[in-house]
A and B are shown apart, each in its own frame.
Chain A
Amino acid sequence: MKGTHPANYDAFGFLPEAMEEALRPARWLHKNYFRVKSYGVEHIPLSGGVIVAANHSGALPMDGVMLGVDLFENTNRKRFPRVVTDHFVARLPYIGVLFARVGAVGGSRRNLDSLLESEELVVVFPEGTSGVGKPYSERYKLQHWHVGHAELALRHKVPVLPVGIIGAEEQWPLLARIGGVRAFGAPYLPIPATPLPLPVRYHIHYGAPIDLIAEFGEGASEDPQLLQKAAERVRDSVQSLLTLGLEQRQGVFR
């Protein structure tokens, strides 16, 4: 739903002009700091609804920012990725507003239904916050993989684009995470080992889109077991991309 207002905000607070502004520093980080290399960009659909499912890590969700920039750059700057965030993000002062203006959306079903009906490119991290907060020793081991993305893909008949992000898991090792603080609803307070993220090189690997309807049938979204299998299919695909990416990588900073 668009406003009739000159600056065209959508219901979630997204403003394409704000995205363009925010992209300047993000693009600099993408090009010069994390020196992102992308593989398999030909798999990114240039039109139609799609769910991008990726691994999540890095203390702060810098992987979401880099993936968003990468998707935007590799779709001829025509598709604004709509990154799905945890609910607590809306509660964070300033950050919540910034995220909303650049297209982030709280992960409620109705929100995502609306985006997919509008044929948007929706980015989800099925590991959720447990991916961001995992210890260094758990790097590149996918955490509990939620099934919501598979259910959405099946219900809306849209493909899932699996993505393996290499680099983010080493960008900011956590010394500790303090639970119980719950400032603004955040699940924990991260204590990173370094004051800034390390300038690791990101390698973003895009896999071939997965047609879950073709593999599991139309009614799979109503069957919990099939739904779990569909989510595992996506998970396995992301894990394969991670394994491939780690094999190809010559060093954390290279």
Chain B
Amino acid sequence: MSRILITGATTPLGKELISRLLTLETTEAILTVARDELDTSRFGNDARLHIEHADLTRERDVRTLMKGPVRDLKIDAVVHGPLHRSALDRGKKVHAMNVESTRSLLMRLQSHPTVRRFIYRSFSEVYKLEDHLPTLIGEDHPLEFSRKAPQRVRDRVESDLSVCALQGMIPCSIAVLRCAEVLAPKSGSQLWDYLQSAVCLRPAGYNPIVNVASVQDIASAICRALESEAQGVFNIPGADTLPLGELVSRFAKQSIPVPGPLIAPLYRLRTGLLRTEFRYDLNRARFHFNGVLDGRRAKEALGYEPRMSALAGHSM
């Protein structure tokens, strides 16, 4: 695929992806869509890069985009990763960004003349984590359908399944990449925000294994999915597998074990006072139980293996 539409271009992942694709001679055109301004200087003002400002939560904008620049530039692949970064926001607008934008895009792809590949960047958060479930999370692992799940999680599950449901039903090959959490600023990472405190609380008696990814690895996985015709769901693990307590130590923070029931109110207080993003209710399960994405399918079908640590510069 040589003509690519990328949504969410202003995120660290979007920028990394654009940089990577522009280094390839086979890339003929990149169309980016962003609500915010994108600084193109880091891309050397490459003529292959085209920028559109559109609000994908608006049906009219999506239609204009797909019938206009996408068709005119003969875009053949779409990389879409809906992400409302703030974990504090909720409501219809957030849902529109997380879910409806994906649906609108998919609807336009059903009869699009040029697009033949759809890469959807999903999240490991869609998987349920419980003591009786496998530690190693395969693509067939149960999803988090709990009614108690926060909107952020429910939206991600709904959006993921909306894409999965259309596999084989539209004239596009679809790859859903369920990616490990990217440990980087401005990427919506809960763990990143958690690690910004001088003191990090964790449930006493538990020190679960977490797996985190670098922006570079996720961008690499997307590039490999673009090169491939493989369809289906693929788990994309990161290179770093370590206990939560050790992750905290790597960031030179103090890890304090606290009785479980006290953590949620303490973090709610922190959020209320400092307007920080970390929400314990979003992370309760993974702060108790091990859960690591099994990347064997991505390795076999896409040739993806995590290589770049997200912890570079954070040595013990």
Give me the interface of A with B, judged by CB distance under 8 Å.
Answer: 1-7, 9-13, 87-88, 90-94, 96-97, 100, 105-106, 108-111, 114, 185
Contact = CB atoms under 8 A, between A and B. Distances in A.
Contact of A109 (B134, B239, B288, B294): B134
Contacts, number: 89
Closest 3 CB pairs of A and B: A93-B205, A3-B241, A108-B134
B316 A3 contact: no
A13 B237 contact: no
B252 interface: no
B12 interface: no
A111 B311 CA distance: 26
Contacts of A94: 205
Interface residues of B, number: 33
A5 B183 CA distance: 15
A111 B246 contact: no
Contacts of A92: 205
B289 interface: yes
Given A90-B289, A97-B207, A4 B131 contact: no
Contacts of B289: 90
Given A106-B131, A106-B134, A9 B243 contact: yes
Interface of B: 131-136, 138, 141, 203-209, 211, 237, 239-243, 246, 288-290, 292, 294-295, 306, 309, 311, 316
A12 B289 CA distance: 10
Contacts of B133: 108
A155 to B, nearest CB: 15
Given A87-B132, A111-B135, A13 B240 contact: no
Contacts of A13: 135, 208-209, 243, 290
A110 B242 contact: no
Given A106-B135, A114-B136, A114-B294, A93 B206 contact: yes
Given A12-B209, A93-B206, A97-B205, A3 B131 contact: no
A105 to B, nearest CB: 7
B206 A110 contact: no
Given A1-B241, A1-B292, A10-B241, A111 B206 contact: no
A77 B188 CA distance: 45
B138 A9 contact: no
A140 to B, nearest CB: 30
Given A3-B242, A4-B309, A91-B131, A110 B136 contact: yes
A145 B294 CA distance: 30
A97 B134 contact: no
B36 to A, nearest CB: 33
B240 A111 contact: no
B144 to A, nearest CB: 17
Contacts of B206: 93, 96-97
Contacts of A111: 134-136
A5 B131 contact: no
Contact of B209 (A11, A87, A109, A185): A11
Contacts of A106: 131-132, 134-135
Contacts of B242: 3, 5, 7, 9
Given A1-B295, A3-B241, A4-B239, A185 B131 contact: yes
A7 B246 contact: yes
A13 B290 CA distance: 8
Contacts of B246: 5, 7
Given A3-B240, A4-B309, A109-B134, 14 more contacts: A2-B241, A3-B211, A3-B239, A11-B136, A11-B294, A90-B131, A90-B289, A93-B204, A94-B205, A106-B131, A108-B133, A110-B134, A111-B135, A111-B136
Given A94-B205, A96-B206, A100-B290, A5 B311 contact: yes
B216 to A, nearest CB: 13
B137 to A, nearest CB: 8
Given A108-B133, A111-B136, A9 B209 contact: yes
